[in-house]
Amino acid sequence: MTGQVVGKKAGPIGWIIFDQPARRNAITAAMWDAIPQVAHDLDADPEVRVLVMRGEGEAAFVSGADISEFEGNRIGREAQAYDERNARAFDALAAVSKPLIAAIHGFCVGGGCAIALQADLRMAADDAVFAIPAARLGLGYGAAGLETLVGVVGLPAAKEIFLTARRFDAEEARAMGLVNRVHPKSELDAEVEALARQMATHAPLTLASAKLALRQLGRVGADRDSEAVEKSIARCYESEDYAEGVRAFLEKRKPVFKGR
């Protein structure tokens, strides 16, 4: 059975599940193609406030791209088309306007690490293992992917990750900034869900504006869309949620935000 990318929701949380446990959730070409639509649908759902990515089963988040397909679709001229479908998946995840959390257990390798890097927060189990072993395969690695890695961990750590191609455990990953927190594996799902539900109580327009502004900070000079950032900030001040937030503070109660 080929793998799939499953989108589902539970209350305010939207789940993106990489489902091919027989191959440690290795991502097939069809799964790469499915990611943009699943991410878009959950991001567009007004009932969903926070998205969480997770691998099915207990062995892996994502163990990388499915290498069993490489001889057929990632060699010669086909390699460019394969890399373009990867890029579409990464761009779709990066474009999600709502908070995106990666819940990482087991193997998070190669393409799996690249997927996790698109998240706003990466929460890891203590059994998580990270690596980008491109040098062990001889494949070319796109500049955009390296830029994302450098933006998360900095240039020295990015060099160590990429040039050594070695595996890093969860605590090493946390020390270099690759993950935000490490939890015992038995507690990861509960911790991530609690975090997601807590974030889901925040003002959606404020979170989306902050994500947009932070994303623009990663761009250089003229590439920054400062106008879009200013519009998003103005929308917050003009929103019903801002009025609700102020009123709730003055009334000493929890605000109820509606995203408008």
CB atoms within 10 A of CB 165: 15
* pLDDT greater than 60 at residue 1: no
pLDDT bin (cut points 50, 70, 90) of residue 194 is: very high
Of 56, 48, 63, the closest CA to residue 14 belongs to 48
pLDDT at residue 74 in the model: 65
What pLDDT does 186 receive? 96
Q: What is the 3-state secondary structure (H, E, C) of 154-217?
A: CHHHHHHHHHHCCCEEHHHHHHCCCCCEEECHHHHHHHHHHHHHHHCCCCHHHHHHHHHHHHHH
Question: How far from chain centre, in Å, is Cα 186?
Answer: 22
Q: For residue 221, what pLDDT is reported?
A: 67
pTM, entire model? 0.93
CA dist 27 to 23, 65, 68, Å? Answer: 9, 5, 10
The pLDDT of 178-202, averaged and rounded, is: 97
Percent of the chain past pLDDT 90, that is, above it, reads: 80
Residue 127 has pLDDT above 80, yes or no: yes
Q: What is the pLDDT of residue 157?
A: 96
**205-243: pLDDT as tens digits:** 999 999 999 988 877 666 788 888 999 999 999 999 999
d(CA 83, CA 167): 23
Q: How confident is the model at residue 143, as a pLDDT?
A: 87
pLDDT tens readout for residues 102-126: 999 999 999 999 999 999 999 999 9
